[in-house]
Every structure is written in C-alpha cells, then in structure tokens.
Amino acid sequence: MSGAVAAALSTTTSSPGGHNVFVYGSLLADEVVRVLLKRVPLCCNGTLIGFHRFSIKGRVYPAILPVENRKVTGKVLLGITDVELDVLDTFEDVEYERRTVEINLHDTSEKLLAETYVWGNKDDPELYDDWDFEVWKQLHMKDFLAMTTMFANDLEQPETKTRVSTYESYYQKD
C-alpha cells in the first residue's frame, strides 16, 4: 500500500483530508469518476458485508440494499472533498440515500468507515438478480459515459437537470 493511500486510510468518513466513499456500480469506472470529479482520487478495494448488489429493471446501473449473508465488492474513493461529495449526492439523486457503512479493506485486514449510496426503496419490485460490472463495461459504459458527460456539463449551468432526468432523456433518445 502506498504512503498516500495509507495516510488517506487513517481518516474516518469525514476529516480534514476529506470523505471516503464506497462505490460499487458505474463509479467503479475511472472514466465515469473523472467526468464527474475532474480527477480520479486515490482508492482501495473493499467489501461491504451484509448488502447485495441488484440489477434494476429498465436501468443500466445497480442498487444495493441490506441482505443478510451477502456482500458487495467495490472500491473506496479516498479524500473526497465536500464539493465532490455534493456532486456525487446530486449524481446519485433522490433514488439513493447516502449512509455511513463499514468497509473491509482487501489489502489489509483493516476496516474503514465510508459513505455509500443505498437504494431508497427497500421493497422496490424492479430490483432483481445480481449486477455485474464487467458486463456493464462491455454493454453500457460508452453510452453511460456520454450520459454522465451531459449530466456533468449541465451541473455547470444555472438550471441543473437531475441525474434521473438526464438519464431518462439520454436513454430515450432513440
């Protein structure tokens, strides 16, 4: 583990060094993170115990919800600023709730507190099966990256559209 990552790991979810954010879906792609945050922060691999990553009918991105005896692998973005956390909150929109969770780090036996985005509707009938990042990269990343670029450009406008409305208008363009 690099010294910079070790220093970042010495923080909790919120500190002078920034926030730690566990990501598990489209934000696993550095390209998507770069479009939103204008940089790719230091990160480390981790697992969230007691949650499951679902596919969502009609969507290309996943949702997580608490499920006993399940786990979600992902990565922790380290040193996220308050402004960047606001961008992520806006990107995740009203469908998700930001929660503090405990992540088991892969490179060490340490645990780390991080923010993550949990699906807001625990009884959503649109959730099913597992969501697979590698399949998403092959089938959806190019279009999702284009949609995210539209969203990021809209963030700089006085009248910002929500990510959900940007997503829906982009994916209904055909």
- Per-residue pLDDT tens over the stretch 67-107: 999 999 999 999 999 999 999 999 999 999 999 999 999 98
CA distances (Å), origin 21, targets 7, 117, 139: 16, 9, 25
Judged by DSSP in three states, 58 sits in coil
To the query of whether residue 115 is one of the catalytic residues in this protein, the response is no
Catalytic residue among 31, 68, 84, 92: 92
pLDDT score of 13: 47
* Residue ranges of the chain with per-residue pLDDT less than 70: 1-16, 160, 173-174
Identify residue 137 by its one-letter amino acid code.
K
**pTM listed for this prediction:** 0.86
Among 60, 82, 63, 62, CA closest to 145: 60
pLDDT score of 98: 98
pLDDT score of 107: 80
Domains of the chain, start order = 3-171 (3.10.490.10)
Which tokens belong to 168? 């829906």
